[in-house]
């Protein structure tokens, strides 16, 4: 490949570090001369014409889709369902009258997602691909494309593509809301600028995260990530990152669901990462953390400025509620990276995984 690592030991670390620049690049690409959102007129029309959106994706892109559902529903007021591509056709939901299918795919080549695209096109439905590779199969075959502008992603574990996908989804949602005449005080281009600055706090001070990784994960057999609401989706992604590159068994759970079974797995010293960036739910999540600590868990709490507490290990700078996943995932990516490093794993090319999976 002609993409160089430069002074970086791994592509993954380079790509994690690039995220503030990627977000600023997205702001530039989606900004018009008068500071309003610049977005393809046809894409805008397709989104506002839809009475329901079906997001289809796999892996990390699916996790971006879970956040995308919340953003589109809250901001643009359009109902959204997010589905795992490989499962969608087995039990296709009853579709609405004017559905729009959105495929989220870093590579634009994932066979599971393409399988759905081919089928829904046959049924005559409208399609949009959000991808990092315009000209890819999913991009060529869909009616419309939105570009995530993250630049080539080489490491198998996806990092910057995920944050870029969520940024573009937020911009798309606000654009649709404005086009539909919805009043709103959330300016995504401005708020994403704040996000880019917040990301830098972590990419510039990695030693704390390296220490946490060594401390919590050098010898751990398993690790749990718990969160509520939007944070829950980020926990799924945090756990996936850790599994992919460090081979530690990791699971993301909804904070309130843990007690309904999985809490049986908590033993003396089991690391549990708690994520609370949504003020409305942080007290409940802290309650869940107390429950696991009482059973021996070793807690790593990640919270946000404004309602952080003294023992919290990581505090993310204040960003808009809608955009916290873009920032809170950065410490998780870095902790996974250092955990893999300390355990001697091949960070950029983990066993059994491929960057893009072109078989179903």
Residue ranges in contact with ligand G6P by CB under 6 A: 58-61, 105-107, 110, 113, 156-158, 353-357
Q: What angle do CA 296, 302, 307 make, to 5 degrees?
A: 115
Q: Closer to ligand G6P by CB, 105 or 229: give it.
A: 105
Tell me which residue has its CB nearest to ligand G6P. 59
What angle, 0 to 180 degrees and rounded to 10, lies between the N-to-C axes of helices 59-71 and 160-179? Answer: 30
Work out whether strand 298-304 and strand 249-254 pair parallel, antiparallel, or are unpaired.
Answer: unpaired
Distances, alpha carbon 165 to alpha carbons 146, 162, 228, in Å: 10, 5, 21
Please tell me whether residue 345 adopts helix, strand or coil conformation. Answer: coil
CB 162 within 8 A of CB 26: no
Smallest separation, CB 256 to ligand G6P (Å): 27
Smallest separation, CB 58 to ligand G6P (Å): 4
Work out whether strand 126-131 and strand 144-147 pair parallel, antiparallel, or are unpaired.
Answer: parallel
Q: Closer to ligand G6P by CB, 235 or 292: give it.
A: 235
CB 360 within 8 A of CB 87: no
Question: Among this protein's residues, is 121 annotated catalytic?
Answer: no
Smallest separation, CB 229 to ligand G6P (Å): 23
Q: Closer to ligand G6P by CB, 58 or 258: give it.
A: 58
- Taking the chain, what is the end-to-end CA distance rounded to the nearest angstrom? 26
Please give the helix or strand (H or E) that residue 292 lies within, else none.
helix 282-293
Smallest separation, CB 319 to ligand G6P (Å): 24
Q: Closer to ligand G6P by CB, 5 or 355: give it.
A: 355
Q: Closer to ligand G6P by CB, 55 or 174: give it.
A: 55
* List of E strands, the chain: 52-57, 80-84, 99-105, 126-131, 144-147, 222-227, 249-254, 271-276, 298-304, 314-316
Q: Closer to ligand G6P by CB, 178 or 243: give it.
A: 243
* Alpha helices for 59-206 (secondary structure H): 59-71, 85-88, 111-122, 137-141, 160-179, 188-204
CB 37 within 8 A of CB 171: yes
Q: Which residues contact 87 (CB under 8 A, 6 or more apart)?
A: none
Smallest separation, CB 195 to ligand G6P (Å): 21
Smallest separation, CB 197 to ligand G6P (Å): 27
Residues classed as catalytic: 355
């Amino acid at each position: 490949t002609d993409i160089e690592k430069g002074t970086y030991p791994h592509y993954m670390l380079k790509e994690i570090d690039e995220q503030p620049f990627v977000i600023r690049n997205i702001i530039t690409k989606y900004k018009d001369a008068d500071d309003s959102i610049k977005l393809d007129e046809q894409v805008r029309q397709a989104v506002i014409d839809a009475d329901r959106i079906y997001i289809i994706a796999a892996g990390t892109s699916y996790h971006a889709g879970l956040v995308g559902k919340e953003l589109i529903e809250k901001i643009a007021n359009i109902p959204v369902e997010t589905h795992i591509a490989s499962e969608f056709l087995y039990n296709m939901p009853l579709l609405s009258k004017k559905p729009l299918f959105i495929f989220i795919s870093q590579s634009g080549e994932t066979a599971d997602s393409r399988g759905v695209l081919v089928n829904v096109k046959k049924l005559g439905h409208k399609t949009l691909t959000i991808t990092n590779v315009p000209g890819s199969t999913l991009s060529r075959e869909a009616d419309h494309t939105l570009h995530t502008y993250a630049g080539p992603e080489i490491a198998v574990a996806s990092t910057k593509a995920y944050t870029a996908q969520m940024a573009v989804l937020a911009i798309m949602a606000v654009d649709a809301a404005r086009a539909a005449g919805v009043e709103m005080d959330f300016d995504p281009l401005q708020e994403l600028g704040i996000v880019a600055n917040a990301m830098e706090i972590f990419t510039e001070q990695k030693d704390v995260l390296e220490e946490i990784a060594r401390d919590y994960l050098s010898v751990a057999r398993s690790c749990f990530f718990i969160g509520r609401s939007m944070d829950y989706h980020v926990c799924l992604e945090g756990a996936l990152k850790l599994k992919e590159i460090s081979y530690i068994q990791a699971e993301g759970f909804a904070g309130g669901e843990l007690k309904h079974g999985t809490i049986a797995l908590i033993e003396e010293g089991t690391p549990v990462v708690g994520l609370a960036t949504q003020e409305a739910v942080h007290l409940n999540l802290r309650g869940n953390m107390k429950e696991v600590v009482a059973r021996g868990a070793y807690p790593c709490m990640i919270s946000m400025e404004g309602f952080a507490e003294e023992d919290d290990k990581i505090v993310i700078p204040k960003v808009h509620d809608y955009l916290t996943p873009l920032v809170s995932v950065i410490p998780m990516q870095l902790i996974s990276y250092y955990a893999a490093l300390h355990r001697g794993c091949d960070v950029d090319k983990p066993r059994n995984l491929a960057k893009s999976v072109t078989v179903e």
